[in-house]
Amino acid sequence: MPTSSSTSGSERRFVPVAALSFAVVVGALTISYELLVRSSEERYGVRRANVVSPLSASPKIDALVSDLAAGIHYSVYALGTSRTEEGIRTDEIDRAAGPTYNLGMSGGSILSGFEVLDLLDERPALILVGVMPMDFTMTGVRQGSVPIRLARDSIASLHRRPESEERGPAAAARTMTYALLHGASPARRRSLGQWFDLLHMHGDLMKFINNADAVAKQNDLWIRGFLGVRRVATPENFRQLRPSTIPSEYVEDHGPLYARLEEAVARQHSRGSEIVFVRLPIAPVARGLEDAAGFDRDIRAAAARYGVRYIDGNELMGDAFIHDRNNFVDGGHLNAFGATMFSRALADVLRSSKR
């Protein structure tokens, strides 16, 4: 009998001890995470910061929407494909024309960039339009529509009225909880899979807490939409144009798409935006293939017809630059070093035009 009584007493003590231990562990984890969250917010701010290259164009648009919702607006937008994304460095343009956001979207036509500005009702002082044949292909139009479709809810959130926000005791309690525990807010929640990815890919903890996309170590530059790729072109890919089908697609598709671009340009002109067409520097072989399809002739004529300035990157940078593969990732894209040199030269041209 004494043995049974002793066992029963141990079992009764186990429950409160286990509950207390669990509470202590949960409390320690909560406090530790809260301290990390507040340290991250002190460094990067409460809203998601552009500290990492998004995995697709949709999160890139979401990051812009987040800035706009916080009252951060840009004087300059750079539109285009991956050539713009990897070729126009935002902080270099800042010094000449004001705060800049690079809205270049890999594989997407410039028409998609204009559509995003329309949906956001943005009226920047200057729009740099990075032009290339892919902008005037149905492939570019289709690929550019995908991130816009995925980001529509994010874009629509800018136009929602405060009256539509949830009210009542539950909403008040939730707001109070988030104010007390920043780590409890939806923006700071991370799944076990995300934590595993962070550990596996050696990401930056403070960046990850601010922005869930920051699970991997960032090797390339990421500055407000600009993606600076550090890789240098090999002799083989310096002579390549990818995708190789773009010149032929341009010949077939370009006519109606130039008409759509003219409408987009006229719309932004009516809103007070200056527009500059910029053809990013590309390697000689790639340039020859595109010009053989008639692009150089067509884009110059279009710029004159629309009443916009046209800057040819190859002419701006000169033969020594465009023949040096150290400035490129491949025949059609600048690397971080080349983009920095080109963006500085472009900024100088923009600055001189203001005088």
DSSP 128-190: EEE--GGGGSHHHHHHHHHHHHHTHHHHHHTT--GGGS--SHHHHHHHHHHHH-GGGSGGG--
E strand or H helix that includes residue 201: helix 192-201
What is 59-159+220-354's CATH number, 3.40.50.1110, 3.40.50.700, 3.40.640.10, 2.130.10.10?
3.40.50.1110
Specify the pLDDT at position 30. Answer: 85
> Confidence band (pLDDT; 50, 70, 90) for 125?
very high
Mean pLDDT for all residues in the chain = 89
Specify the pLDDT at position 9. Answer: 64
The residues spanned by each domain of the chain are 9-52+168-209, 59-159+220-354
Distance CA(131)–CA(169), nearest Å, equals: 53
Q: Tell me the mean pLDDT in the region 154-181.
A: 74
Tell me, what amino acid is at 282?
I
Given a cut of 70, is residue 138 above it in pLDDT?
A: yes
Given a cut of 60, is residue 122 above it in pLDDT?
A: yes
Give the range among 185-194, 234-243, 251-260 with minimum mean pLDDT: 185-194
Predicted confidence (pLDDT) per residue in 281-339, tens digit: 999 999 999 999 999 999 999 999 999 999 999 999 999 999 999 999 999 999 999 99
CB atoms within 10 A of CB 338: 27
Tell me the chain's radius of gyration from C-alpha atoms: 26
Predicted confidence (pLDDT) per residue in 208-248, tens digit: 888 887 877 777 888 999 999 999 999 999 999 988 999 99
The residue assigned the tokens 């960032």 is: 218
Q: Tell me the mean pLDDT in the region 90-95.
A: 96
Predicted confidence (pLDDT) per residue in 35-47, tens digit: 988 889 888 878 7
